[in-house]
Amino acid sequence: MRFLALPTLLLFLMSISGSSPAASVESSVWGKTPAGEEVKIFTLKNAKGMEVKITNWGCYIVSLKVADKKGQFADVTLGFDTLEGYLGKNPFFGCIAGRYANRIGGAAFKLDGVEYKVTANSGKHQLHGGKAGFDKKLWTAKDVTDGVELSYTSADGEEGYPGTLKSTVTYTLTEDNGLQISYHATTDKPTVLNLTNHAYFNLAGEGSGDILGHQLTIPTDRITATDDDLIPTGEIASIKGTPLDFTTPHTIGERIGADFKPLVQGIGYDHNYVLSGSGLKLASTVKDPISGRVMTVRTTEPGVQLYTGNHLNGVPGKGGHIYAKRHGFCLETQHYPDSPNHPNFPSVVLRPGETFQSTTIYQFSAE
């Protein structure tokens, strides 16, 4: 089966090496949806003071507070102070994107010889699951050890996708400042699936300005090449030595304005990097030199999308802050964009009797 769980042995080794979850969990009512449904917010906090707030509306990461090199805490994710900001149209600030995260070209794909047309919400294409994707759903929530488990059942035909899909996303906070996101899904008909978290990070603290001075490393020199609409062509392209190559550390702003076709197409970085290896592997390391905060991303997914907030255009955010272009960056662990239309990409097909499982860990430190 192409969907592989994080091995039990690896989980055991993580637990004895100090990576086991160790957080308190509190919940409260945060508001109501326009339909009158009660929305909750969950606060996870570990012994080192790291704190994460999650809501069961769209599985949004509402805030994530970590210490800098002086021990000062700041919220390093962009977002809103109240539920209302997440209920309306927003740039996917920290949600779970699905049923298919990223893009599906032409808002259509074939599965077992049958063509499925999904909702187009980005020109003629689909982006992040359609007009009412997983970010616009109320998930069923329950406390689990050191975290919160969120579940949603997507009906057969929702946004055009086949099969009743049962998805569970679990957020846990570890004692060594890791936010672990675990995904689990089953279906009653063959379908396609790609889930990710769409948090926008600024390690200097949200509202502190742009992220162009952050130092970034991504341990691969390959991407999925795209056309002008950012739809993959099917080619796995080498970016060695180009402005997209982060195999050695570079600041995000160092080459973002280069006259290089992929950067022109994305109006900056908006590219899926092809990761090597299986199991839990390094996807990226980011450091803010001023605060000293470091974020390391590990994942079982085969790709990670780097997006540098190129379309943020004055969004009113937390504390009266206005989020402008490149005030946050995303590292979305995922299967490749438009995979259903490219048989050479890792498969995103989920069939009855199979289980989708995936793990991503955002680890924080300071130096």
Q: Where are the domains of the chain?
A: 8-366
Q: For residue 301, indicate whether it is catalytic.
A: no
Gap between the Cα atoms of 106 and 118, Å rounded = 9
Q: For residue 198, indicate whether it is catalytic.
A: yes
Does residue 99 have a cis bond before it (omega within 30 degrees)? yes
8-366 architecture in CATH? Distorted Sandwich (2.70)
DSSP assignment of 200-245, as one string? -B-TT-TTS---TT-EEE-S-SEEEEE-TTS-EEEEEEE-TTSTT-
* Each residue's pLDDT expressed in tens, for the chain with a length of 367 residues: 344 444 444 444 444 344 454 899 999 999 999 999 999 999 999 999 999 999 999 999 999 999 999 999 999 999 999 999 999 999 999 999 999 999 999 999 999 999 999 999 999 999 999 999 999 999 999 999 999 999 999 999 999 999 999 999 999 999 999 999 999 999 999 999 999 999 999 999 999 999 999 999 999 999 999 999 999 999 999 999 999 999 999 999 999 999 999 999 999 999 999 999 999 999 999 999 999 999 999 999 999 999 999 999 999 999 999 999 999 999 999 999 999 999 999 999 999 999 999 999 999 999 9
Gap between the Cα atoms of 211 and 341, Å rounded = 34
CB atoms within 10 A of CB 25: 18
Which residue of the set 158, 327, 332, 342 is catalytic? Answer: 332
What is the model's pLDDT at position 18?
45
First-to-last alpha carbon distance for the chain, in angstroms, is 41
Residue with tokens 């030199």: 289
Which residue of the set 125, 198, 214, 327 is catalytic? Answer: 198
Angle at 118 between CA 115 and CA 123, to 5 degrees: 120
DSSP 8-state class, residue 347: P
Closest by CA to 98, choosing from 131, 62, 123, 135, is 135
